[in-house]
Structures are given as C-alpha cells and as structure tokens.
Chains A and B, each alone.
Chain A
C-alpha cells in the first residue's frame, strides 16, 4: 500500500466532487430564476442531504462543502490507520491526535 498515492487520489476526488456540486447548485439556482437563498437554522448532515435532493442551492453547495472539509479529515484518518498497520507508534499517535482535534472542531461548533 502506497500512502502517497492514496493521499493524492483522495484529495483530488474530494476537490472535484465539491467543485462539481457547487457548479451544479449555481446552475440550478440560475435556471430557477435566481430565487432567494436561505440557510437552515439547524445544520445536520441529514438536513443537508435532504435539501440537496430537492435541488435546493444551499443543500447542494453545503453537501459540496461537507465533502471538501471531509477530504483532509479522511486523509488524516487514512494516515493513522496506515501508521498503526506499520506499527509506527509515534506517528499513529500524532495522526490520531490531529484527527481528534478535527472532530472536536466539528462537534464543539455543533454544540455551541
């Protein structure tokens, strides 16, 4: 297993998916006559996916944002699994620490 390759590919896919979703959201918004855009008060992955499937701009763009933010987080998660498999304790620890902080950022924001 080659870490460099997996990291590079996952980054590329994440960026591409989110850019395409943004473009899709904007196009639907334009074809819909540039309607007013609202942001739901409660943000959860479920709400966003639900909105996205109704063709709502906010839902689709936010789905793209989630994919984009998830891309580097996924990269860190993959790395920690890789280092754990290689029995590289120091780096498994470092990457798990970074992963923990990233998840904390998502949850603490959600709580506050």
Chain B
C-alpha cells in the first residue's frame, strides 16, 4: 500500500493545476508533465503514476471535448471511426505494461518527451488543406465534414483521405497511451492533420474527443488491476480540471518561439532524467 502524506497531496494538487495550464499553453496533454513529476519528484512507482495520470487524462479530455463538440469543431464520425484503433491499442498497451519492467517504461517515456519537444518546435501543420481527394472508405463512411472557424467567420468544407493508414497509426497512439498514461494527442493530431488532411483545428478537437474514450479504456484496466491510488488520483483530478478550465479561458495565442524553445529544453532535460532513472532506479531528484 502506498503511503501518501498530506504535503504530497497538496503538492500534487498544485502541480496538476500547473500541468493543466502549461499543457493548454503549449498544446500538450497533462499526462506528459504529470508522469515525470510523479515518478521523478514524488518517487511514485511507475504503475501508480500511469494509473493516476490516465484517469486524469479522461477528466481533462472530457472537459475540453465538451466545449469543442458544442462548437461543432469535432468531426464525430471520424473520431468514432478512429476510436476502433485507439481503443484496441489502449487496451493492448495497458495489458502489456504490466509485463514490462518500470525502467523500460521510464526510458520509453523519455524518448516520447524528446519526440514531443521536437514536434512542438519543428512540427508542421496545415491550417486549410485544399484539393484533397477522399479515398474509398472515406467516401463510404462520409468522413468529410465542415466546420465554422470563428477566426475567419466562414464555414469551410474539408475531405478526409489516407483512412486506413490513419487508422493504423491511431492504433499505435492507443498503445502508447495505454503503456505510458498519456492521451496520445501528440501523435493523433499531426497524423490527422498531415496524413488525413483534416484542418488542424478540427484535428485537435477530434483528437481530444477520442482521447476520452481511449483513456477510459486503459483507465479501466489500470483501475481494475488496483493501480489507481485514491490519494494520488483525487488531487490530480481536481487539479487538472481547475487548470484546464483556467487555461482554456486564459490562453488563445500560441507562445513565441523563444518561450517554446526554453520549454523544449526543459522537456529534454526531464527526458534525460527519466532515461537515467530508467537505467538507475535509485536516482531521486
């Protein structure tokens, strides 16, 4: 049984508010920041850190998904179709995680952080893809859609293509989510945008929508296994909801490159610490 002191509960609560805020600024999910904090700073065993994080991911994603769905930014059909891949992957990942040494998971997470910081700096995005020809499955399932962009004040129509490849990458992003306790948006959004040619705003809204179900799938496995510790998950759940609520209201602009670079350097430092801890578990920050 994990012993958690009142002081740790308060620090997790404050940290999760910060994670929600910072995540909203840089477009990262809370999990990417919460897992390193729990494992490196609080010394929480990896399965408990992942279990608590994945439950909080359900909360943040559901909270923001509600807003996007109401604004009709979300492509419900595409989301529900790709969920077949993410949910299957998430359950697989959550099961496999139990058989992997914690060190391996820490190293994988470190690699993921390096990927995330790279995407943040050099990630390409297509705001308004044009001339997209939908493939057969996309036509059959009527995956294309239209959305109203408040920034331009116009409704634009878009098509969806490369359906099967996007579905398989969704499966991979589900596995990563189930293994490491993150939502998987850093994989899902670029895939939908660059491969399926979905406008970036629709891609992030749809990814957010899918993450709730994806994380619920792996959270079920962790919960039933007993890896969801009440004193870790309670402050986290309250904190991320507060943080995300403040974050989405406060921040609409993307930060300047200099700030992004600083943050990326921080992420890479954290990732080195995680990889080191993966190899030498006795390291405590």
Contacts and interface: CB of A to CB of B under 8 A. Distances in A.
Interface string A75-112: 11001000000000011001101100110111011100
A4 interface: yes
A91 B78 CA distance: 10
B221 A14 contact: no
B206 to A, nearest CB: 13
Contact of B241 (A15, A39, A73): A15
A57 B213 contact: no
A12 B72 CA distance: 16
A18 B68 CA distance: 20
B84 A94 contact: yes
Interface string B76-95: 11001101100110010010
A98 B213 contact: yes
A43 B229 CA distance: 13
A14 B58 CA distance: 10
A69 interface: yes
A11 to B, nearest CB: 4
* Secondary structure dominating the interface of A: helix
A38 interface: yes
B70 to A, nearest CB: 4
Given A11-B62, A22-B233, A105 B220 contact: yes
B69 A102 contact: no
B127 to A, nearest CB: 23
Contacts of A36: 3
B141 interface: yes
Size range of the interface on A? Answer: 35 or more
Contact of A26 (B84, B224, B238): B238
B59 A7 contact: no
Contacts of A108: 221
A19 B241 contact: yes
B66 A8 contact: yes
Contacts of A65: 55, 219, 223, 228, 233, 237
A76 B84 CA distance: 11
Contacts of A105: 87, 91, 94, 217-218, 220-221
A39 to B, nearest CB: 6
A89 B10 CA distance: 49
Given A15-B241, A64-B237, A109 B212 contact: no
Interface of B: 1, 3-6, 9, 55, 58-59, 62-63, 65-67, 69-70, 72, 74, 76-77, 80-81, 83-84, 87-88, 91, 94, 140-141, 212-213, 215-221, 223-226, 228-231, 233-235, 237-238, 241
**What 8 pairs across the A-B complex have the smallest Cβ distances?**
A109-B224, A61-B230, A22-B234, A11-B66, A72-B212, A72-B216, A8-B70, A105-B220
